[in-house]
Amino acid sequence: MYRYPDNFIKLYEKSFRRYAGLPALSLYGQKGTMSYLRLAANVARTHIYFQNIGLKRGDKVAMYAKDSDVWIEAFMAVITYGATVVPVLPDFTVEDATNIINHSEAKLLLAADSMFEKMNFGKMDKVEVVLSLTKPGVLAAKNPEKVEKCLERLPDEFAKMYPQGFTADDIHYRQVDNNSVIVINYTSGTTGFSKGVMLTGWNLAGNVVFGMRARLHFARSRVLTFLPLAHAYGCAFDMLTPLACGSHVTVLGRTPSPAILLKALAEVKPHLILSVPLVFEKIYRKRIEPQLTTPKMQRLLAVPGLRQLVCRQLRKRLSAALGGCFQEVIIGGAAMSSEVEDFLRMIGFPFTVGYGMTECGPLISYTPPREFKLTSVGRTLPEIMESRIDSEDPEHVPGEILVKGQNVMAGYYRNQEATEAVLEKDGWFHTGDVGTRDSDGTLYIRGRCKSMILSASGQNIYPEELEARLNDMPFVAESLVVERDGKLIALIYPDAEALESRKIGAEKVPALMDKIRSKVNSRLAPYERMAGVEIMKEEFVKTPKRSIKRFLYK
């Protein structure tokens, strides 16, 4: 097992110096671009302020705001100062955010004005100062006079420290040991379930250096980030890796609806697109599927000589709609619809599906598009990660996926019991996912250990597989399969837009959904078949990562 020797923080000292004149950050829809030199200067200015207010190495700094160029600037300032950043997903409630801030023992909070307005500073146990990420200023402090004076003196102190002006030669960052915890990512906000994933310099370097060597990003490449930067996936590959390579990162800064996202992609023209399945599936349902199902298109696809030509045109159209400059699209974060995956493969679209977890910062497996095996989640990262299946026949009989290597977290912050439950003493991490593994390390996920259902005949049923089949059917927006009284029941939230376009009234929906259940059942083994359907009137409640909260529906 090879450990990348690069000091994680020093990657950014080198990058900011080398690419000082290149564009670093932009906020979509706003004028102006921040160069690497300006980013470094702002980071240096923030370091002076941190020192003046008494922030120490290793202190925790929480961030609670929506993604922006300023958010990235603040994140980089914290980690290059030697403090530990605690990014809080903006989708967390105020109560959950406060729980995270307290559990992490954060001494400093960087927050958006609108989000802090709903919080109670008095309920924050150890926070001494709250700074605004909306505009320069102090939102709250235990010693407001001191921190306000520090802010007022900052311009003069910066000018005094850099009398000739800030240059690339002035970019120096502290030597932070790679064993130090750089980021604590929380997987839940609720007090009883708080699990703060401690990611060290080694963990982050494993991800970032792999991304650099795979040339996912490169100097002057363009990035449009629309995944949450407070989450490990977006953080590692839409922010940390690009900034180590001299890429230009544009932050979408708004909800990525298909219309908004396609418009931004067409304008930014990114060289790499990172997405979760939900985003691509929405684009497919709304923009592509209606074209594929027309009688004319069906006739064209049925003719062998024309099929290849049509697929080439479809690939060109989709590529153009996504900006036309990308080398590949990496899908991660959840299982992808087999229908969408089959379509992308049919037209020869350059996509791949990766696998990761917050506990691995996040990457576990990835394969370039040309080597990608359909229905897999890529090959275990060579030299960085190992994987094995807890099964007597790993290639054919599913078992829990265990991984080991540089990317595996140091543990859960202040939660030794949870750490010991998943992390063995010899370094093997229990992912909680069930799957199989090829001899070359390619992984295939079947579902989660906790969601697996044991049939009356002793067969293992993975509800995620049944849900994927249901979700591929017309008029189904999303679904959940649960066990009730020994029977499998399909909870279905219908696609209202599709029903309305076909003028299907509410009174016909139950019969239609039952017909869909029967059709899916015809393709399943007897023990997997669903006995009934329950129509959901509202979308399923989801986590900030857009995963359905299964426990609410059992």
Q: What is the predicted pLDDT for the residue at 245?
A: 97
Report helix, strand or coil for 36: helix
Q: What is the predicted pLDDT for the residue at 191?
A: 45
Note whether 378 and 368 are within 8 A (CB). no
Q: Which two tokens stand for residue 421?
A: 């439950």
Please report the DSSP string for 420-471 in residue order.
HHHB-TTS-EEEEEEEEE-TTSBEEEEEETTT-EE-TTS-EE-HHHHHHHHH
Percent of residues, the chain, with pLDDT higher than 70? 97
State whether the Cα torsion 60-66-72-73 is positive or negative: negative
The 10s digit of each residue's pLDDT in 39-75 is 999 999 999 999 999 999 999 999 999 999 999 999 9
Interhelix angle 463-471/509-521, rounded to 10 degrees, is 120
Query: Can you list the domains of the chain with their CATH numbers?
Result: 8-251 (3.40.50.12780), 272-324+327-447 (3.40.50.12780), 455-552 (3.30.300.30)
The CA R_g of the chain, rounded to the nearest whole Å, is 25
Q: What is the predicted pLDDT for the residue at 458?
A: 66
CA angle 355, 63, 200 (to 5 degrees): 50
Task: Identify which of 107, 113, 55, 116 has the alpha carbon closest to the alpha carbon of residue 80.
Answer: 55
Note whether 97 and 111 are within 8 A (CB). no
Q: Pick the residue with more confidence: 483 or 74?
A: 74
Q: Which of 142-146, 166-170, 227-231 has the highest mean pLDDT?
A: 166-170
Residue type, 523: R
pLDDT tier at 116 (50, 70, 90 boundaries)?
very high
Percent of residues, the chain, with pLDDT higher than 90? 76
* Peptide bond connecting 362 to the previous residue in cis, omega within 30 degrees of 0: yes
Task: Identify which of 158, 169, 163 has the alpha carbon closest to the alpha carbon of residue 44.
Answer: 158
Q: What is the predicted pLDDT for the residue at 451?
A: 83
Q: What is the predicted pLDDT for the residue at 147?
A: 94
pLDDT tier at 339 (50, 70, 90 boundaries)?
confident
